Each structure stands twice: as structure tokens, then as C-alpha cells.
Structure 1
């Protein structure tokens, strides 16, 4: 019934999803329709790839074309007005992908709003919701590089040899950022040991959506949608979206930058990946994996969280990633074919840190612990507490022989003591679609015709969304006491500015109907169960 209802609803709203959205971008803040904006090649604002002027403002009356890699260098400021659109061309094979790079000492001031987001996307994207989410790797992405501490060392090893991202600089504390070719110091992040500044400020990213990036420049070398290299804590990052990327959605390499209200959608690799001594705070992260994970050319998604202390063995600095994350909701798409990875949380390479009050659905397993990360989990320096793990329909949850593994250690099944610790830490497993609606489908895969929508918002009062832990009261966290990125029963913060909303992939953006108590888009037996449970309740 749900599927039939959604197919009908998809057909009825298809026109809405594709009519006028490109024209209305920025309309609320006085921007003209995208089709009538003046086209400006970014190369006309650059000299040798660098901003020609120390202060440059991009305005929403223009449509900007990123036709080469662009650098915002030391002591330069790039201002981007709300509602501004930047479209990027695809670079020739074997060269750096066309990317917007804020180098060390440069600052970007991209301060959009929910009604006037700033969008960076591929040149072929008409911005009307019809450019398929499977279009990935069409340009580079957004890279911000700062001067905060990391743990890179010139002697680091990776894959049995020197790590090219660290050995090339020859300086401890300075690395070459992932996804770019060697030999250009504008691509370096961090500072020599002793000269780091954890309070570094690279500007503001607010209501910024980065789409269809991740162009491959070599084997295993792609640009993340949003890459943060040694970015400091005085940088403001909130309400960002990393969509349809051929690598990770968001990845900080070292640094202390805090991230709040972030979306990762339809990417080919991990949704949030920390590495190299990242020590920031994160709250309200929403990830939704694409519709296909068969291992073919349209394969999408890997781990929900990939938690790395360092790039690999051999780092003797003693510094490891140690972030604190509250309130994530990440929906995976694991299948037995092409889904050998796909862990909700993969922790490895000696990582430290905390993951609290989060919801993970449709992954192969819950917590996968490798090497010293397992020791850290047991001694309390890497914590996963008060999280809910929702299984797939084809998984059972009866340990130790279940197909869903709550905990895996070095690729093998965990012990009974590990399962006990999992529960003692307040973690839960729950059945398929019992907490959130994690079913998602697009047909055909090369379209954006959504035939089954997710609903990441738990019902008000849902037991598996309750927590005994409250986020800290400080200058960053919002002190909420529920699991997941969204307040149960409330309107989500993704509404109005994300690609997920534009293509109507999320039921929270679709008008409900009387009787749809669980807001899954149809009136069915689940709603009757909810009604029966509440029948006779005195509401006065």
C-alpha cells in the first residue's frame, strides 16, 4: 500500500519538483531568476588562479562559472551573497579538478539563508531537480585549509610506503590536502609544529550546498564534497549540504572547527569522515545514502561515520583524532551484493572521540572497531553511547548468529562481553522501519523520480529516540535530550534549502494527510497501531 501510494504521489508532484525551482533560487532576497543572470567566468576574476583583488564579492545577479581552479590566498577575502549560484566545468583528465580552494590565511564569507542558499554545482545542473543524484564527479568541490594543529609528519607511512600527502612538504605539521596534485604550496594545510593556531578563522559557511563533485584525478584520489584541512574553531560552519559526491561528503583532516546542521546525501563513500587529529564538535548531522549499492557504476555509499585517528601506522606524534559528536541520523543502503563494508560506525587507526544520541539505519553492522580503536572503546577513550541502530528488513538481530552485528572487532564477530558493553552504554537495536522510515528508492536510477521516500524524523514520544544523555550546555551545543538529527515529531531543519528537499526525497517535505500518524506518506496498519495505543487517552 505504501509503495502504491508513493508511486502515485511521485507522479503527482513530479511537476512541482521540477517547475520553477531554478528560477526561484534567491527570490526571497531579491535575486533575479537564474536564467536571466549575467554569466561571469571565474577566470576573469583571477590571476594565475588566485583572486586578483584582495576583496572580492560574488553577487546573485550573476551566474558564475568555475572554469579553472580558484584560490583565495593569505589575507584575501571572498564574499558570496545569499542566493548566489556557482556552476563548475569538468577539468581535463589528469589535471586538478576545478575546485574552490580557500588556502591558509584566506577567508570565505558565504553567509546564505534557508530561503536564499548559496549553491555550488556542476555546469550541467539545471537546478530544477531533474539532474540525477547519480551524476557525481563532475567537478572538484569546496576545500578550506587552515592553520590549526594536525598530526601529519613528514615520515608518515601509508600503504607500506611514504605518505605522499605528508612527505612532499618535508615539514612536520604541514600536509598536502587529499584530492589535489603535488607541487603547489597553496594546497598545503596546517603549520610547522609549534606554530599552529587552533583558534584560526577561515570565515563562514552557512546555508551552503555543494553538489555533484568529487572528480577523480588519480587512482583513489578524488576531492571530497567539503574538505576541511586544519580549519580552526573560530570558523563558523552550519547548515551545509554535501550532495552527490564521488568521494566523502564532509571530511575534516585535523583542526578544531565545529560543524552544526550538516547534510550528506547520495555520495559514493563515507558520510562524515574524521582524520589526522580532528578535535572539533559536531551536532545535528543527517546522511542519506543513494538508491543503489550493487557495486556497479551507480554504486553509492559506504560507512556512516568513518573515524580515523590518523592516515595509517607509523605516526609517532602521539596525537589522534578526538572529536565529540551528538545527534546524527544516517540512513545507509547495505546489500549483500557490493556491500561488504557499509558500517554505521567504522572506528580505526587509534581514534579517540565520542558519538552520542544518534540513529543509524540500514547498515551491515553497528560499531566496527579496528586495531587500537577496540582498546580505546573498552577503556572509554572512544565512546559510542545512547545510539539506536535500526536493522534492514532482511537482517535478524539475535546475537551471536544474527546477520546484523551490533559490534565487530577487526572484521570478526565480537564477544559476548562486547555485546554486553554495547547495551550497558545505552545503545539499542530496533527492527526495520520501526523508529524511522529508512526505505528509499528511485526509478529509474538515472532519474530523480523518487518512488519511496524516507522520513528521518521519529514520531513524537518514540521510545527508541529517547536518551538519558543531554548534550552539554556550552558555547556550541544545543542541550537536547533525544537521539538523532531531528526533534521527534517536529519539522526538520533541512526543509527549504537542500537538494534532498528539492527532489522530494524526504517525506518531511511532503504534505501529510489526516490519519497519517507516523508521517510515512500513507495511512496503513502502522497508523492504526499508533491510534490503538493512544485510544481512550484523556487529552485535557
Structure 2
């Protein structure tokens, strides 16, 4: 059940991008049943204005096109209704303004199309109302190119990314609570480059939403825009690297910038992302490359993306209260020497699978030389990993020399592979630490090994930790409730009256096996 539903219906798409100008005349009560239909096409500099209490209705299969510089204004109490299969196209510099109490309804299969120049101050005005929710945004503002000075995106607009938008040092991009940022295709993404900052601090009542333009019309789906990328100067075991998104390199061989701040992300939704820049180089929901520990990342939801939910390349970034739901590939992925922390992490692998090896966690240190320093070695606590899809692979896969310290966590769910697997002896040699961890039911096996590591070796390392166990139970909350330690295990306190996901996330999907 959607707890904080920001979906907008086709109503929004139609009123944002065009107003139907084909009018159906209404005869008197004495007229026959034949309704005359007028087709109206406007050229350049055309102004159409309706008075108060005007009703405008278009029939099925109506095509409406406006030329350049067309102004359409409706008075108070105007009702506009379009039938099925209506196509509306607006030309350049079209302004659409609606008065008070305007009701707009679109039928099925309504297509809207617009050509929008990505210059300054391109906006379309509307009052947005859909599915019983009222929204404060009254315009779409298109942005593109580089941001080189301090800039604020206000919450009275929808900010539409046009291509890659790069924030360049020393600029700070501030995004107000309650702001909506959209992309329309995979080439649309936001990159905070090295030395620049983002300050996106939402609240539980007014989260900041990064989503697809299609989502505003109620048609959100996987891989509809690129995603959010942050590049920093913190240490990586590959030194300075080139990232597939952004205009600058990231990370460093030195630890001097490990405490660097790239800004703030709080109470943020990131939805419907994922784009392949080139073979084996994809944009994720949230990409953190060389990001330092001074960056505040707290209360983040990544929802239904085409590639990984969150991926980290080196750095010392710390994550807190993170929900990753419906990642197409791996939910949490790290490599290149990440040594930060993650606490209160909820991973739900749904049936939205776009790869052949989707994992709850896929973790590496360095694929070329697994002994290079710094070794990936994050500290993770209070994590829950569940899976609904039988094609889901390992709950946790540690490989290529990574280590980790994982505590107070639960791994369960329907999956084709094991709950916990080590791949290669370099990983086993790092002796990952487990404490108060339960591997539950639903996995093909509790332990797995590959590339020179046997499952028994993984089990031995797991049992060398403190208070770890295996179980056939598949309900993570039941596991958490039965835990008898001083603290609780899993992402959510089983005795709390609410979850930290309540109120600000797009949707919290209960796993199928606990519904």
C-alpha cells in the first residue's frame, strides 16, 4: 500500500503539455442526436479564451495541434474533457494557463507531445490535482548543461533534467524540501562533480523526489531516466578514476580528503532510474564515487531501478536509513576500497529483475589486484535482505578481496543461490566479521562458495563470529521478534509502533511470504 503517493495521472500530462482546442458543440434539448464536431487548428500568435462556466469536450480520436506562441486561457469553473485516443501537440513557446476550479479529465490512451527548448525560463503553468492529492508545483522548469554557481531549485516547480546536468565546483546545488526533479529518458541525469556539493534536505512530511517525467502521468516504470551521481575526492584503491557520468574524474590515491563533504541527502526518493551508458557501464539509482564521510546521507529510498540501487566506488561515505526496493540488478554494490558504514538498511528484491545475476549485496575490493589498499571493508549494521523472486541470486556475495563487518542483520527469501557466499580465496583471507546475524529460510542453501572457496569454509568463518545462527524461518519480523539479545536485529525495531520508512517513502512493499 502506498504510504506517500506522489503519482500524477494522465490529467497532469495533458494539462502540462497542451489543452485540447477541438470543441464539440452542444445542441438544444430539441436537437436530434447528431452532435456537430468542429476541428480547430491554431497558427502562430493565436489566442483562445473561454469565459466562466465553459465546458469543452473533445470526442474520440481527436487531434489538436497549436502553433508557435499560442496562448490558451480558461476562465473559472471551466471543465475540459478529452475522449479516448486524443493526441495533443503544442509548438514552441506555448503558454497554457488555467483559472480557478478548473477540472480536466483525459480518457484512455491519451498521448501528449511537446517540443521544449532547454533555454532559460521554459515553463508550463498548471494547477496539479490527481488521485485526491494536491500538489504545490505550478510549473515545469527545464535545466541542462553545467551549473557553475550556487543555485536553488525551489519546491514550486517541477525541475526537468534535459540531458546530463553537471554541478561544477565550487557550486552548491540546494534543493528545497518537497521539490520534484524529473528526467524523461536515460540520457537525463544529475551529476555532482568533485568539489561541488548538493544540499537536498527533505523532511518526512515533504521528501524530495527524483523520478521520471512519465511517473507524473502515472506511468512510472524501470529505466525511464538516468539517476543521481555524486563524485568526491576520497580515497580509492584505484586512485583517481574516470566515471561514466559526470565531467570530471573522482577519488584519489591519498586519504587526505576522506572526511570531505559533498553535501546532504536527507528524506529523498529516487525512482525509475537506470541507463546503460556503454557496455558494462550503467547509471544506478544513486552512484557514490569517492564520496567522503563528511557527506550526510540519511533516509534514502531507491525504488524500481534498471541497474543497481546504490553503488559505491571507494570513498568513506556513510549511509543511514536506506530502503532499496525493486532493483533490477544488485541492490547494494561496492568496490574499489569503500570503507564507510551503512546502518538500518532494508533491501527487498522484487520481481523487477533486469539482469541474470541480481544480488542483495554484490561486493568487491579490486578485480585486478584484490590486495591493493585500502581493502573494501565497510561496517554494516541492522540490515534486512529479503527476496520474492526465485531468480534472485545470492543474498550477500563477497568477492575480489573485499572484507566487511556485518552485525545485527537478517538474510531471508526466495532465491536461487545461497544466503551468503564467498568467491575466491582472497576474500576468505580478509576474514569478514559477522555478529548477531541470522541466515533464514528460502535460500537454496545457507552458505555457498566458488572459485577456490568451499561452502564449509564460508560456514566456518560465519560461525567464528559472535551469536550467529541459521533458521528455516522466512519472515524477517518473526526472526527479529524472537531475537533475545540486548539490541534488535534487522532494519526495523520489532517493538516500535512505526517503521522509519513510514510517511515519506513512495511505497513499502511487504514481501509476499509475510502478506
Q: Do these two structures clear the TM 0.5 threshold for a shared fold by scoring above it? A: yes
Q: Which residue in the other structure is 2:248 paired with? A: 187
Within the candidate set 468, 483, 506, 2:489 is matched to 483
Deviation at residue 257 of structure 1 after TM alignment: 1.3
- What do the CA deviations read for 1:365-388 (whole angstroms, capped 9, x no partner)? 1221111344335xx3x1123211
Mapped partners of 2:389, 2:355: distance in 1: 11
Are residues 1:174 and 2:240 paired?
yes
The answer to whether the 8 Å contact 1:119/1:210 transfers is yes
Cα pair distance change 1:414/1:217, threshold 3 Å: same
Q: Which residue in the other structure is 2:505 paired with? A: 498
Q: Which residue in the other structure is 1:408 paired with? A: 449
Q: Which residue in the other structure is 2:281 paired with? A: 221
Q: Which residue in the other structure is 2:211 paired with? A: 121
Q: Which residue in the other structure is 1:68 paired with? A: 163
The answer to whether the 8 Å contact 1:357/1:467 transfers is no
Matched residue SS, 2:163: coil
TM (norm. structure 1) is: 0.66
Mapped partners of 1:386, 1:143: distance in 2: 33
Q: Which residue in the other structure is 1:38 paired with? A: 139
Deviation at residue 269 of structure 1 after TM alignment: 1.1
The answer to whether the 8 Å contact 1:64/1:85 transfers is yes
Q: Which residue in the other structure is 1:323 paired with? A: 378
Within the candidate set 462, 481, 495, 1:462 is matched to 481
Deviation at residue 272 of structure 1 after TM alignment: 1.1
Are residues 1:346 and 2:397 paired?
yes
Report which of the two has the higher share of helix: 1
- What do the CA deviations read for 1:211-246 (whole angstroms, capped 9, x no partner)? 111112222221011011111111101001111111
* TM alignment of 1:56-95, pairs within 5 A: 56-91=151-186
Cα pair distance change 1:115/1:507, threshold 3 Å: farther
Mapped partners of 2:226, 2:213: distance in 1: 12
- What do the CA deviations read for 1:321-373 (whole angstroms, capped 9, x no partner)? 111010111112352xx55xx11110011112211111111132122111134
The answer to whether the 8 Å contact 2:428/2:458 transfers is no
Deviation at residue 299 of structure 1 after TM alignment: 6.1
Q: Which residue in the other structure is 2:18 paired with? A: none
Q: Which residue in the other structure is 1:55 paired with? A: 150
Mapped partners of 1:114, 1:241: distance in 2: 12
Gaps of 5+ in 2: 13-127
Higher relative contact order (CA 8 A, sep 6+): 1
The answer to whether the 8 Å contact 2:386/2:511 transfers is no
Note the aligned Cα RMSD (angstroms).
Answer: 3.1
Report which of the two has the higher share of strand: 2
TM (norm. structure 2) is: 0.69
Gaps of 5+ in 1: 1-9, 44-48, 92-96, 153-172, 396-402, 437-456, 469-480, 509-518, 522-540
The answer to whether the 8 Å contact 1:347/1:373 transfers is no
* TM alignment of 1:382-421, pairs within 5 A: 382-392=432-442, 403-410=444-451, 413-415=454-456, 418-421=458-461
Larger Rg: 2
Deviation at residue 428 of structure 1 after TM alignment: 2.0
Within the candidate set 97, 100, 121, 2:190 is matched to 100
Cα pair distance change 1:387/1:40, threshold 3 Å: same
Deviation at residue 248 of structure 1 after TM alignment: 0.8
Q: Which residue in the other structure is 1:147 paired with? A: 233
Mapped partners of 2:164, 2:420: distance in 1: 38
Matched residue SS, 1:287: strand
Cα pair distance change 1:424/1:195, threshold 3 Å: closer
Mapped partners of 2:409, 2:422: distance in 1: 18
The answer to whether the 8 Å contact 1:268/1:302 transfers is yes
